[in-house]
Structure formats: C-alpha cells, structure tokens
Chains A and B, each alone.
Chain A
Amino acid sequence: MTPEASLPLEHFIQAVQRQLDNAQTAMAVKARSFNLPLTFAIKDITMDLRAHVEFARSEIRIRPAGPSDKDASVFHLVFTAITRPMIEENAIAFESDPQDEIRDELTDDERKKLEWSGVRTRSQLRELAERGGERQLERITGLPVDRLRKALEHSATPMIHDVSPAEPPSGEPADLPARLRLRGRNLMRNGPPHVTIGGEPVSVLSADAQELVIAPQAHQLAGELRVSTSPDLSGSTTFDLRPLWTAARAAAPPEERR
C-alpha cells in the first residue's frame, strides 16, 4: 500500500481474522501431508502494528507507518481463539431485527456517527432519547437536534408491512365476523392505537408493537387502512381482501359480486 493510504480499523481487524482462518486451514492440510499425528490450532496471537491514527468520515482509520515514520503509534493487538458457544453468546448483543435498523432517516455519515456512539437501532435511539433527552443525545452523538428529532419521529412512525385474514376462533363461522391481522412495527405506543379503514373507526381486538388484530365490518374489507399511535404519528396502507369473504361479496354492490 502507499504510505498515504488509510483504512478503517475494522478492515484491518477483518484482514487479520482472514489470515488467522487461512492459517488454521493451512495448518490442518500441511500437518496431514507431513504425516504429523496431530495438528495445531492458534490459541493466542499478539502483534504490534506501527501506524498513524486518523478520525475521518466519522470513523477511526489507520495509516500503517512507512519506513521513515519515527513518531507512529504502536497498536498492540492481542487475539485469542474462542469457541463456537462463546461466539454465539457474544453475537446475541449484535443481533437486531433488520426492520429496526436505522436506514433511510439518516445519511450514511450520520449513521456512522450514531454507530460510533453505540446506537445501531431505532429502539436504541428512542431509549437513549427517553433516558437523557434530545440535548444529551446531541452531545453524545454529535448530531444536530433537528436531525435527531426527525430520525426519532421517523423511527416511531407506525409501519404496516402485511395485512392478512386472521384465523377465526373455533366454533365461529369462518367468514364472519372478519378478523384481520396487521404486521409491522411501532403499531402500539402507550396504548391501543386508533385504527380506521376508509376513515371509519375499526375495533382493535389485540395489539402489540409488531401485530394488531382488528375486526372490520363487512364493508371495511378494502380501502385505506390507517393506524395512529398518537395525533402526529400515523401510518397507512391500502388493501383489498374482499374476495376472501363471502359476506363481503354479498355486501358488495351487484356489479362487484361477480
């Protein structure tokens, strides 16, 4: 690499990891071809890397020292092999619902700033805002309050991903009363949401943040479905499930029954 080139620290770590994986594989293959009864696995590895540290584009980057660099920093890196259960145990902390990831509401640069302060998901962003307030969030993340406010609003907006018929309770006719299951996110906030179809209210039978079950009337099996969790937070979608209910067909105007 040229002395000017720099790379994110995590890319360096990944490059080390690839070499360690390759070494493990190559060791097993070579031990077999040299007829050694045993193979060896890397337990610990420690290395010193001389490099300059930069903070650019909202990320830590390193620039490996050139031959004449006398004032470079020294990274003393210690790696140790861990077992699969340990990997899985540590991975839990990084697992997140893809729907919860912060995406469109912030630019790449803003997202990196948030990640740098440990915020990767919408729920983490909300939690931090609720705990410390917007000013505290601004101080920690380095993002302006208005951008954070926008991201928070976007992150709390109800989103409907799927509308489908819910199974009727046993013993009830399969077609009436109609029950619809809505799947999405932010579907409940501080209490059951207000749900309308075509502007008319609909009964909510059960609610949580990811799923609602509603009981629309026969004429409400198509149209614009809106879920509001507060006066300024609502999401909508359009749907048409009329062909699935005979009652809906019966209720429809004669020209739509065919």
Chain B
Amino acid sequence: MNRRLLADTLVDVAIGAAGAAAEAPAIVVTALTLSLPIELALEWTGNDWELRGDVPRTLTRTPFDLTPGRLEVVWTRGEQP
C-alpha cells in the first residue's frame, strides 16, 4: 500500500478535526494544532521528487519499518475565498 502524499494527509486530518468542531454550535474553532508521528518518503515521479507523508501504518514496529519522524502543523482560520 502506497503512503499518501503529505498534502493529502495534512488536509484529511485537518478537515476531520474542523468538520467535527463545526458540529458543535456553541464553539468556534480558530486554530488547529496537530502533532503526529509521520513516515516521510520521497518518490521520483520521472519529473520531480514527490514527498509522501503518512501516519505509521502499523502500531508495532519491525526492522522493516521506517522510524517515524514527527510532524507538527498549525492551521489558522480564514474566510472562504
């Protein structure tokens, strides 16, 4: 199974959190700060290097798994363009 692109991982996690918060009528989310383990890998597409970044796919680590790095991201809210 291929790792997801870093952009997809970032957006999927953020949209999940923002979507869940939008269900609650009495609160407004102004920022999202996420800190998660991540497996980063680079893939040559033939034209460019593509950065893949996904959460670890297994809970237990074996010698065949990459040592995960850490990703921290801060999203701030803005008006819909």
Residues on A lying within 8 angstroms of B by beta carbon are: 1, 5, 7, 11-12, 14-16, 18-20, 22-23, 26-28, 30-32, 34, 36-50, 64-69, 74
Contacts and interface: CB of A to CB of B under 8 A. Distances in A.
A49 B15 CA distance: 25
A175 to B, nearest CB: 57
Interface pairs A-B: 8 shortest CB-CB? A48-B69, A22-B7, A40-B75, A23-B7, A19-B6, A15-B51, A46-B72, A19-B7
A20 B21 CA distance: 23
A7 B49 contact: yes
Contacts, number: 134
A20 B76 CA distance: 14
A145 to B, nearest CB: 37
B31 A39 contact: no
Contacts of A16: 6, 51
Q: Interface size bucket, B side?
A: 35 or more
A67 B80 contact: no
Interface in B45-75: 48-51, 53, 63-67, 69-75
- Taking chain B's interface residues, is the majority helix, strand, or loop, or is none over half, making it mixed? strand
Contact of A47 (B63, B69, B74, B81): B69
B42 A15 contact: yes
A27 B11 contact: yes
Interface string B28-41: 00011000001011
Nearest to B77: A38
Nearest to A64: B42
A45 B31 CA distance: 13
Contacts of B64: 67
22 contacts: A1-B41, A1-B43, A5-B42, A11-B49, A15-B50, A18-B48, A19-B53, A22-B7, A30-B15, A31-B15, A31-B80, A32-B80, A34-B15, A37-B22, A37-B80, A39-B79, A45-B73, A46-B72, A47-B71, A50-B67, A64-B40, A64-B42
A7 B48 CA distance: 11
Nearest to B70: A48
Contacts of A37: 22, 80
B79 A38 contact: yes
Contact of B78 (A19, A38, A65): A38
B48 A26 contact: no
Contact of B74 (A5, A28, A31, A44): A44
B48 A15 contact: yes
Contact of B70 (A15, A23, A32, A47): A47
Nearest to B66: A67
A247 B31 CA distance: 76
Nearest to B61: A67
A34 B44 CA distance: 33
Contacts of B79: 38-39
